[in-house]
Structure 1
Amino acid sequence: MTVGVRFRTPRLVYARFLGDPPPVGSHVVVRQEGRLYLGQVRTPPTEGRPEGEVLRLASKDDLDRAVRLKEKAEDALYLLRALFREKGLPGKPLLCEYDLEEKALRVHLARLEEKKLPFGQIVKEARSRLGLRVELVLEGPREAAGLVGTLGACGMESCCSTWLQGFAPVSIRMARDQGLPLSPEKISGPCGRLLCCLAYEHPVYEELLRELPRKNARVCAKSGVCGKVVKHHPLAQAVDLQTPEGKVVTVHKSELEA
Structure 2
Amino acid sequence: MNVFDWLSNMEVPVKDRFDVVEVRFKNGFKEFFRNTEKLDLTTGDPVIVEVPNGHHLGYVSLQGELVRLQMKKKNVVNDGEIRKIYRIAHTKDLERHAEVQKREMPSLHRGREIIRQMKLNMKLSDVEYQADNSKASFFYSAEERVDFRELIKVLAGEFRVRVEMRQISLRQEAGRLGGIGVCGRELCCSTWLSSFRNVATSAARYQNLSLNPSKLSGQCGRLKCCLNFELETYMDALKHIPDINKPIQTERGDASLQKTDIFRRIMWFGFKDESNWYPLSVDR
TM-score range, shorter chain: 0.7 to 0.9
For residues 161-180 of structure 1, what are the structure 2 equivalents within 5 Å? 161=190, 163-169=191-197, 170-180=199-209
Residues 231 and 241, structure 1, Cα contact 8 Å, conserved in 2: yes
The Cα shift of 1:233 comes to: 1.8
Alignment-derived partner of residue 222 in structure 1:
none
Alignment-derived partner of residue 10 in structure 2:
none
The Cα shift of 1:7 comes to: 1.8
- Cα 1:216/1:16, change in 2 over 3 Å: farther
Instruction: Look up the equivalent residue of 2:243 and give its one-letter code.
Output: K
- Cα 1:27/1:214, change in 2 over 3 Å: farther
Cα offsets for 1:39-63 (capped at 9, x unmatched): 3344431252167534044333332
Alignment-derived partner of residue 62 in structure 1:
93
Residues 32 and 52, structure 1, Cα contact 8 Å, conserved in 2: no
Superposed CA RMSD: 3.6
For residues 22-171 of structure 1, what are the structure 2 equivalents within 5 Å? 22-43=41-62, 44-47=66-69, 48=71, 49=76, 52-55=82-85, 56-111=87-142, 114-154=143-183, 158-161=187-190, 163-169=191-197, 170-171=199-200
The Cα shift of 1:79 comes to: 2.1
Amino-acid identity (%): 26
State the alpha-carbon separation in 1 of the partners of residues 242 and 51 from structure 2: 50
State the alpha-carbon separation in 2 of the partners of residues 159 and 8 from structure 1: 16
Residues 33 and 52, structure 1, Cα contact 8 Å, conserved in 2: no
- Cα 1:160/1:53, change in 2 over 3 Å: same
Q: TM-score, normalised by structure 1?
A: 0.74
Instruction: Look up the equivalent residue of 1:179 and give its one-letter code.
Output: N
Residue 45 of structure 1 aligns to a residue in which SS? helix
State the alpha-carbon separation in 2 of the partners of residues 39 and 165 from structure 1: 20
State the alpha-carbon separation in 1 of the partners of residues 40 and 279 from structure 2: 55
Residues 215 and 232, structure 1, Cα contact 8 Å, conserved in 2: no
State the alpha-carbon separation in 2 of the partners of residues 66 and 16 from structure 1: 22
Instruction: Look up the equivalent residue of 1:45 and give its one-letter code.
Output: V
Residue 213 of structure 1 aligns to a residue in which SS? coil
Alignment-derived partner of residue 262 in structure 2:
234
- Cα 1:40/1:197, change in 2 over 3 Å: farther
State the alpha-carbon separation in 1 of the partners of residues 258 and 243 from structure 2: 6
Residues 17 and 53, structure 1, Cα contact 8 Å, conserved in 2: no
Alignment-derived partner of residue 14 in structure 2:
none
State the alpha-carbon separation in 1 of the partners of residues 206 and 21 from structure 2: 34
5+ residue gaps, structure 2, are: 1-17, 247-254
- Cα 1:38/1:237, change in 2 over 3 Å: farther
Instruction: Look up the equivalent residue of 1:8 and give its one-letter code.
Output: K
Residue 46 of structure 1 aligns to a residue in which SS? helix
Q: TM-score, normalised by structure 2?
A: 0.68
Instruction: Look up the equivalent residue of 2:266 and give its one-letter code.
Output: A
Cα offsets for 1:99-131 (capped at 9, x unmatched): 1222211111122xx443222011111111112
5+ residue gaps, structure 1, are: 219-226
Residues 27 and 178, structure 2, Cα contact 8 Å, conserved in 1: no
State the alpha-carbon separation in 1 of the partners of residues 89 and 256 from structure 2: 63
State the alpha-carbon separation in 2 of the partners of residues 53 and 153 from structure 1: 39
State the alpha-carbon separation in 2 of the partners of residues 252 and 14 from structure 1: 53
